[in-house]
Amino acid sequence: MSGSPSEELGRRREELSSQAEAAAERQHGRGKLSARERIDALLDPGSFVELNPFVEHRATALGMDRRRGLGDGVVTGHGTVDGRRICVYSQDFGFMGGSLGEMHADKICRVMDLAVRTGAPLVGFHDSGGARIQEGVASLGGYGEIFRRNVSASGVVPQIAVIAGPTAGGASYSPALMDLTIMVEGIATTFITGPRVIKQVTGEEVSPEALGGAETHATITGTASLKAASEEEAIQAVRALLSYLPSNNLDDPPLYEVLEPASSVEGVIPADPMAAYDIHELIESVVDTGSFLEIQPDFAGNTVVGFARLEGRSIGVVATQPSVMAGTMTIDSSDKVARFVRLCDTFNLPVVTFQDVPGYLPGVDQEHGGIIRHGAKVIYAYAEATVPKVTVILRKSFGGAYIALGSKHLGADLVYALPQAEIAVMGAEGAIEIVYRREVEEEPERRGELIERYREEFSNPYQAAKLGYVDDVIEEREIRPRLIEAMGVLSKKRVSPHPPKRHGNMPV
């Protein structure tokens, strides 16, 4: 060190600035934002406070002592989004491909610890070539430390990942452990083993994008909560997600202005019980206008989940989608619903469920794929959730799906049904073959009459209401007012403590 302490500090800050400019130039050449530009775009102007900017790696193997860089390939710190404090880290692909080494991991761990200690949401920008080979097992150990903190922070503060570049090998697990993951189309990839390894081992040839790009994870694997057309769009999505979530598990979500729905709910549901319709129209006509933010919109389209607001308050919405596979439940939709319900329960968001479900999809593929185990996740999630739970049965509600999707039997606080709702073990068309088998065989022309008789005797909502399984039968126009009323009544909900245990054993 030469010169005064202030001069030395100035020199180091100048070096940091020069390094950031060079990294930004390299990233721009790849068509991407730099690590610092991503943070600046996310946070309120002038609010970022950087942590550990002068950290450097300690490795000397393979000439690492000649590859110095302040910050060691990741920018960490805290700032505000819409005035609310968050913690953030952003990997710098401009330094050694954003590879993770001992000190790189240590910086991320420190900001994760700060997020938990202060009850602040955590946002991570992932853009990394994976473990730093030159640091050997120390880099693997770094991943382990991050994963342990992801798990420890789960359910304490919201964790949001933005994948804005390659995320391979061990690097792929941290985003998967976080609550919500956004992938940027065209530049984001995430996989355990890359195309080269796959070709060597199995002989299969596949591009990085087809193997683990945003489209793949948004539509096939369900790993991506959202995909974004650009980094700017991804950053706006982060800000939107944060607006629905509390800062931590002890806080309530922020309140917003009440915006009445722009369209009427009446007429959305067809009179014909077999006709399809788009559940999005019903959701949009019930929640505050423009407030519905769908999660995993391209995955398991037979169900719809997402955040919304009801009189300015955040809620979680779960709905079956009659226009896709008739709204039947499947392996993928079970996973989608179960994870979302648990997310809502974790962060104090009431769950509103709209049922129009003929049951679980039959088929050998579904059975052999483990529909029993995956379907059990939905039951577990709803039964375990202690937040306010309100269910509206719109039309069909058959079999195990009736039970699993927020029924009274799993602890729903309030259940409403529309007059045309059918609640039964199975649909009338199939049930009469069992209940009225002899009549159908002897007088097949009475089939229609027998279907109507079954509906009157077994499946109309008043049968369930007689037993207290439905709290009231309501008209379509009453859905929003009843939900608002329910949220007010349940806002001070008290929950009996569970029997002492370490944790339950969810059928993962």
Quick one: average pLDDT of 440-469? Answer: 82
For residue 150, what pLDDT is reported?
97
Q: At residue 100, what are phi and psi to the nearest 5 degrees?
A: -95, 120
**Euclidean distance between the first and final Cα of the chain, in Å?**
56
Give the per-residue pLDDT at 19.
77
Q: Where are the domains of the chain?
A: 5-244, 279-421+460-490, 426-458
Residue 63 confidence class, pLDDT cut points 50, 70, 90: low
Q: How confident is the model at residue 159 (pLDDT cuts 50, 70, 90)?
A: very high
Can you tell me the distance from the alpha carbon of 172 to that of 128, in angstroms, rounded to the nearest whole number? Answer: 10
Q: What does the pLDDT read at residue 449?
A: 76
The domain defined by 5-244 carries CATH number 3.90.226.10: yes
Work out the average pLDDT over 387-414. Answer: 96
One-letter amino acid at 289 equals T
Report the distance separating Cα 279 and Cα 297, nearest Å: 13
State yes or no: pLDDT of 1 exceeds 60.
Answer: no
Residue 61, pLDDT score: 67
Q: What is the mean pLDDT of residues 189-215?
A: 94
Please, what is the Cα angle at 63 between 57 and 69, to 5 degrees?
35
User: What is the average per-residue pLDDT within 165-191?
Assistant: 95
pLDDT at residue 234 in the model: 98
Q: What is the pTM of this model?
A: 0.93
Q: How far apart are alpha carbons 407 and 338 in whole angstroms? A: 14
**What is residue 271's predicted lDDT score, i.e. its pLDDT?**
87
Active site residues per annotation: 169-170, 400-401
Report strand pairing: 389-398 vs 422-424.
parallel
Query: Radius of gyration over alpha carbons of the chain, in Å?
Result: 26
CA atoms within 13 A on the CB side of 223: 26
pLDDT of residue 62: 63
Cα separation values, 443 from 160, 433, 439, 440, 450, Å: 61, 12, 6, 5, 10
Q: Residue 396 has which token pair?
A: 């069909």
Judge if 5-244 and 279-421+460-490 fold alike in CATH terms: yes
Q: Per-residue pLDDT for 225 more than 80?
A: yes
Is residue 464 within 8 Å of residue 417, measured between CB atoms?
yes
Q: What is the mean pLDDT of the chain?
A: 92
Please state the CATH superfamily assignment of the domain spanning residues 279-421+460-490 in this structure: 2-enoyl-CoA Hydratase; Chain A, domain 1 (3.90.226.10)
Q: What is the pLDDT of residues 8-32, one digit of tens each?
A: 888 878 877 777 777 777 888 888 9
Flag whether pLDDT at 429 surpasses 80.
no
Which pLDDT tens digit goes with each residue over 203-220? 999 999 999 999 999 999
Q: For residue 80, give the H/E element and its range.
A: strand 74-81
Q: What is the pLDDT of residue 79?
A: 98
Question: What's the average model confidence in pLDDT over 221-228?
Answer: 98
Q: Is the pLDDT of residue 153 over 60?
A: yes
Determine the 3-state secondary structure of 98 from DSSP: helix
Residue 28: its pLDDT value, please? 84
